Structure 1
Amino acid sequence: MITPLRNAYYLSLPVVFGAVLSNKMAARLSDVTPVHWATPVVLAVAVFIIYTLDRLLDIQKSGYTQTPRHQFHQHYEPLLWRVLLGAAVLGIVLAFFLPKSVVKFGIVLGGVCAAYVAAVYRLPERHPALLLKEPLVAILYSVGVWGSVWVQRPETNGIEIAQFFMFLGIAFQNLLLFAVMENREQPQRPAFSLATELGLERSDTVLRWLTFLVIATGLTLCFLTEDRFAQRSAIMLAIMSLTLYGIQRYPAYFLKHERYRWLGDAVFWFPALVL
């Protein structure tokens, strides 16, 4: 049954909102320069455009995986293309209010994202380069969230950089976990992904190590800094990773009704608890 909540989920709005909250957490790690008000808005618009465009291009391919999310985009395709155009116009208008450093950063990152989406659309279904999708998306997402803040500051410190890599690890953990869970959903027809290439056992090992490294880094940072907010954000990032590990640990429960997607995307809302 289609509901407003499920529509928001299919439109990746939880991911968009999570990017904004994570961006605000990154901004609070340093109060050197106030972050421009338009930065999180443009970030939200950009994330929405990339995720929606990726789905709309997916359904143009023959033999694409018929997930409920893709079926939603196929059903509302004409409307979504218009919404996408409106979002692009809004993003361009808001860009005029941004500092020059953010505009330059956005142009470079936007060009990389456009090249990535175009490459994914043009590559054959099982091209080896598609195995890089999870790490590349994690990098682009993390750089967009943190880089849009850093370019507005005269400098960054080691604590911020360490927490960026924690966030990057969580983003990759989230995407690899989703690929693993999708393969568990359809074992007879696994989607071509890094999880398929590694196999479920090795993917589980990678995910466990990611959890360990993120948590260990978070606990270490708590002893290396006296900044209370930096300590809280480090602990929150560790909790985000631990939550994803919980999904991995109990796959049967979280596969029901796509619970893994709801909670897996919702972990990026956790920064709201420390803001």
Structure 2
Amino acid sequence: MKWLQNMIFIINYYLQRAHWLSLDVVVGAMVTHVIASRLPDGHGKVSWVSTALAGIAVFMIYVVDRLLDNRKPDHSPTPRHAFHVKHEGLLIKVLSGLGAVACVLLFWVPAKVLWFGLGLTGLVALYLWFAFKISVTHIAQVFKEPLVALVYTAGIWGPAILTQTTLAWESSVLMALYGLLAFQNLLLFSWFESLELEEGFSLAIAWGTETVSAALNWLLWLIVAGALCVLFFTSYRYCVRAAIVVTVMSACTHWLKRSSATALPDERYRRLGDGIFLITLWLL
């Protein structure tokens, strides 16, 4: 059975590094963009150029953010950040290559989507510069989770909605629900970090762990309530499936919080929390 143990070790080895590179988040973002493009009936036109650009953008933002973190004098390294330090030279080359590919793909993007993307890119660049300049001060941490959730939702859903000739109310509601889900996910990570931080600062510490815990509960019920509205009032079967998926994802996020004793060691909550977004694969 040693061959089986070796195989499990190899699979776990590559899955761990894929997670450190946030490839699970990238896949979840690309699938979510496809879902947003297909709404409301599941037959909407999908721009694979926009989908590829969404994946490239998410990957580049996460990698650049960690590379900048590693340059902060008061940064506490994690295995994920240590991996980026070790492979910084290669990652910079990959980022340069992906940047070149993205520039070529822009020629196939509609003008209104292009201007929207440039504006969003400017906002992200401004935040990364701001966060790097002020290091891990309280201001940066308090704004990080809400801003990341907003930018993530806008970047994934914005191009899809801009290319639709008519905007169904279900698309707007589901976009809001996915935004709340992204914030719930990030807030959960901050809550876990507050449990294991011996020094430093996080949003959960700023608000207080009890306040954040209550906020997470409210986010769950808001998402469930919004999903129920879609379930009861939509006439599109695809929207029903999308509402079920976002409810299941929010419930899994809540379950992860209730299983903190199991999820906290070795930062399992990060792998499980990011993996929750892969549930959207059911809608492909």
Letter in 1 for 2:164: R
Q: 1:7 to 1:199 in 2, by over 3 A?
A: same
Residue of structure 2 equivalent to 1:30: 40
Residue 129 (structure 1) shift: 4.2
Residue of structure 1 equivalent to 2:269: 260
Residue of structure 1 equivalent to 2:231: 222
Q: How many Å separate the matches in 1 of 2:269 and 2:182?
A: 14
Within the candidate set 90, 96, 100, 1:79 is matched to 90
Matches within 5 A, 1:183-198: 183-186=194-197, 188-189=198-199, 191-198=200-207
1:142-195 Cα distance to aligned partner (Å, 9 max, x none): 111100101111231221111111000100011110111122223x22x42211
Q: TM-score, normalised by structure 2?
A: 0.92
Q: How many Å separate the matches in 2 of 1:28 and 1:192?
A: 40
Within the candidate set 22, 25, 28, 1:15 is matched to 25
8 Å contact from structure 1 (residues 105, 151) kept in 2? no
Number of residue-to-residue matches in the alignment: 273
Within the candidate set 129, 132, 145, 2:156 is matched to 145
Letter in 2 for 1:11: L
Deviates more, 1:222-231 or 1:250-259: 250-259
Q: How many Å separate the matches in 2 of 1:130 and 1:259?
A: 22
Q: How many Å separate the matches in 2 of 1:68 and 1:129?
A: 22
Residue 25 (structure 1) shift: 1.1
- 1:6 pairs with 2:16: yes
Structure 1 segments unaligned to the other structure (5+ residues): none
Any idea what SS the aligned residue of 2:108 has?
A: coil
Q: How many Å separate the matches in 2 of 1:33 and 1:164?
A: 15
Q: How many Å separate the matches in 2 of 1:159 and 1:255?
A: 36
8 Å contact from structure 1 (residues 142, 164) kept in 2? yes
Structure 2 segments unaligned to the other structure (5+ residues): 1-8
Residue of structure 1 equivalent to 2:3: none
Letter in 2 for 1:161: S
Letter in 1 for 2:29: A
Letter in 2 for 1:22: T
Q: How many Å separate the matches in 2 of 1:74 and 1:183?
A: 25
Within the candidate set 247, 250, 254, 2:256 is matched to 247
8 Å contact from structure 1 (residues 207, 245) kept in 2? yes
- The percent identity for this pair of structures is 38
8 Å contact from structure 2 (residues 37, 44) kept in 1? no
C-alpha RMSD over aligned residues: 1.6
Q: How many Å separate the matches in 1 of 2:44 and 2:223?
A: 28
Q: How many Å separate the matches in 2 of 1:43 and 1:228?
A: 26
Letter in 2 for 1:241: S
Residue of structure 2 equivalent to 1:235: 244
Q: How many Å separate the matches in 1 of 2:113 and 2:99?
A: 17
